[in-house]
Amino acid sequence: MTGNTLIDNGSANPCDAADMRERNRNRQIMVQPFPKEPLPNLDGIVLTGKTMGLTITGNATDNWGVAPPMNRGIREEATCMNNIICANNVNHTKRPDILVQGTNTISDVNLVIDKKPYRALTGNIQVFVPRIIEDFIRQNPS
């Protein structure tokens, strides 16, 4: 996994169903105040199961300033092995580390800056409209 930017982990979609139908019909991008209910702190990249022999490098994982911090930028479970996690940039996390629990996995030269989010958007979030993505996938089969 190389060269990805992962943003909005642990975000939310505060629209109600009627509003979503209207926004989907008009293909509008909408911005709303961030919801008051607590959101889960999720990890950016998770290696799970028996993941082995992967290289996770050159990725940027972060969250918008309006959203809560991610739990961790990268987490590897103990059932994994022989992976390399290097040269990743992690920002705006609850736990300032990359958790490596697998056997014989190497984690090196990763930058974790947990305090201040790079993406300083505050107060509002962009609402995600699932139908737009579904239409795009339907219209562009592989």
- Domain-wise residue ranges, the chain: 5-139
Look at residue 58 in the predicted model and tell me its pLDDT: 92
Q: What does the pLDDT average to over 87-96? A: 87
Q: Which residue did the predictor score with more confidence, 79 or 60?
A: 79
The angle, 0 to 180 degrees and rounded to 10, between the axes of the packed helices 17-26 and 130-139 is: 40
Look at residue 9 in the predicted model and tell me its pLDDT: 54
The strand ranges marked E within the chain are 5-6, 31-33, 45-47, 55-57, 60-61, 74-76, 84-86, 89-91, 99-100, 106-108, 111-113, 124-126
Look at residue 125 in the predicted model and tell me its pLDDT: 56
- Flag whether pLDDT at 21 surpasses 70: no
Look at residue 94 in the predicted model and tell me its pLDDT: 85
Q: What does the pLDDT average to over 64-80? A: 86
Does pTM top 0.85 for this prediction?
A: no
pLDDT in tens, 98-130: 999 999 999 999 999 877 777 665 555 555 566
Which of 10-24, 40-54, 62-76, 126-140 has the least mean pLDDT? Answer: 10-24
